[in-house]
């Protein structure tokens, strides 16, 4: 399955009861946007709101951490999303959080998940219909099948760093090099020993991911060997998924995401932080 779907392709499937559309917009740190209010004002017909903040592990103070399989399954079932559905994820503007929702659903065992190429803006540009107000679906059954090989925790990350594995950081170059502050208070900026940097914004043009050949060139220029395993990281595990999604589009297959990302790493007593 192509991980991207065009607005025209999605339109042709909207009447399919097994097609579920999810608005997975998340406001970035410091933003005053209200994604749910914007969803209520205008969304793709039949779309449900996939609340990344709500669908997180609240047993930790780290942002956006994966919930337990049981909690995720309960939330998806209540929302009306089954693990066998054909799921299409989008966001309202640009490329920021939809890949995190895509990765989360895939990690919990949903096999058929795509991202709407260009998101809601591409849908609107094509003059396709929208609706407003809340949407409800009948309760479904989501059977979680957690893939532990998709996610890395701090001890695993430490092992990877010792092995000189490929760690790719999605944060800005200034944050990576320690010359700009982190948006979350009391966290130093800088980077992990041996990590490489490719700001996720470099993968995006005109509100969508760049073509596969351009992505391959970007990853190669950043020092990534697409034939070797890659672990992605960022500030809180959200834009790391943009890199991971882009890597898949570019042809890489052995991919993991460090869920705690810099929010965990930078405050861990065993972490080594470099600046340059």
Prediction pTM value: 0.98
Query: What pLDDT does residue 46 have?
Result: 98
Active-site pick, 48, 167, 192, 234: 234
Distance CA 119, CA 10 (A): 11
Query: What pLDDT does residue 29 have?
Result: 83
The yes-or-no verdict on residue 100 having pLDDT over 90 is: yes
DSSP label at residue 128:
-
Distance CA 30, CA 270 (A): 29
- Show Cβ contacts of residue 161 under 8 Å, excluding neighbours closer than 6 positions: 167, 192, 193, 194, 195
Rounded mean pLDDT, 233-259: 98
234 is catalytic: yes
Query: What pLDDT does residue 1 have?
Result: 80
Query: What pLDDT does residue 276 have?
Result: 85
Query: What pLDDT does residue 31 have?
Result: 87
Query: What pLDDT does residue 154 have?
Result: 98
Reading the block at residue 259, the tokens are 């869920």
Query: What pLDDT does residue 196 have?
Result: 98
Distance CA 253, CA 78 (A): 32
- Residue 193, H or E segment: none
Domains of the chain: 4-146 (3.40.250.10), 149-265 (3.40.250.10)
Query: What pLDDT does residue 59 have?
Result: 92
């Amino acid at each position: 399955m192509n991980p991207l779907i065009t607005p025209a392709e999605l339109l042709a499937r909207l009447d399919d009861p097994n097609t579920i559309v999810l608005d997975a917009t998340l406001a970035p740190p410091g933003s005053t946007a209200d994604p749910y209010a914007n969803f209520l004002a205008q969304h793709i017909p039949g779309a449900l709101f996939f609340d990344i903040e709500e669908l997180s592990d609240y047993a930790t103070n780290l942002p956006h951490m994966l919930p337990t399989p049981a909690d995720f399954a309960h939330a998806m079932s209540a929302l009306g999303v089954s693990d066998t559905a054909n799921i299409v994820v989008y966001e309202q503007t640009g490329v920021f959080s939809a890949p995190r929702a895509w990765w989360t659903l895939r990690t919990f065992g949903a096999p058929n998940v795509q991202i709407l190429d260009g998101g809601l803006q591409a849908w609107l540009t094509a003059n396709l219909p929208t609706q407003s107000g809340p949407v409800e679906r009948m309760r479904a059954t989501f059977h979680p099948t957690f893939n532990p090989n998709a996610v890395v925790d701090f001890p695993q990350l430490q092992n990877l760093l010792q092995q000189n594995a490929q760690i790719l950081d999605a944060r800005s170059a200034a944050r990576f090099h320690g010359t700009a502050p982190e948006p979350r208070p009391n966290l130093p900026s800088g980077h992990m020993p041996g990590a490489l940097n490719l700001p996720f914004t470099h993968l995006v043009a005109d509100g969508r991911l760049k073509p596969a050949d351009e992505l391959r060139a970007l990853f190669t220029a950043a020092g990534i060997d697409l034939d070797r395993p890659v672990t992605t990281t960022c500030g809180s595990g959200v834009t790391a998924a943009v890199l991971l999604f882009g890597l898949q589009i570019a042809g890489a297959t052995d991919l993991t995401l460090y869920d705690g990302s810099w929010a965990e790493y930078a405050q861990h007593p065993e972490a080594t932080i470099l600046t340059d």
